[in-house]
Homo-oligomer: A and B are copies of this chain.
């Protein structure tokens, strides 16, 4: 790297949702290829491979210690193991410290809850996966139902695949529409969901309620202080 490069740090921890990470990682890697002013790294507590919520294991390129003051951070989300990570002081401590100097603080899906635990959402508008949007209030944030929500330096995206849209927005913001279009052609992002867009009027809130309860119970087990914090206001 050169002294002038702006480093995007993708922050990983055990059990994250792989696509939350890899969607925006692919897009921002395209930016770094197109414009050497940017650099992309994957940071973790150690360099050892960690589990994701899929059969894929992943390994960071750098440790937290090696990237103390990135230009931007991006935090992927997940299910129960992301809630467990709310009690991971090494992770939350890194987010809080890195955010001090970072010009952009971003998340995908329930990664925004980790930003909240690091004290970064207080008084801000934010979003997360639709099933867990109400939990943002626990961190002093105002939940917003949008694909991504920009509040000053903090940009949070909705669930999982929304990270791709967020990342293309970041490329446009940082390098302009022409570069964003080139990256979009590079990943051939011309979505054609076989069943069409989501029909929010028929979102399966009731059908998903047991899954939500299961994730909350599993993720917060052994942490009554988190249960009290997250569920008091929902």
A residues whose Cβ falls under 8 Å from a Cβ of B: 10, 17-19, 21-23, 25-26, 29, 40-42, 49, 53-59, 61, 109, 129-130, 147, 158-162, 164-165, 168-169, 172, 177, 180-182, 184-195, 197-198, 200, 203-204, 207-208
Contact = CB atoms under 8 A, between A and B. Distances in A.
Contact of A147 (B180, B181, B190): B190
Contacts of A177: 195
Given A49-B59, A162-B188, A190-B198, 6 more contacts: A21-B56, A26-B160, A56-B61, A159-B188, A161-B191, A189-B193
A127 to B, nearest CB: 10
A26 B17 contact: yes
Contacts of A200: 190
Number of copies: 2
B198 A188 contact: yes
B54 A25 contact: yes
Contact of A164 (B42, B161, B162, B172): B161
Given A168-B193, A194-B165, A194-B172, A55 B40 contact: yes
A56 B25 contact: yes
Contact of A26 (B19, B41, B189): B19
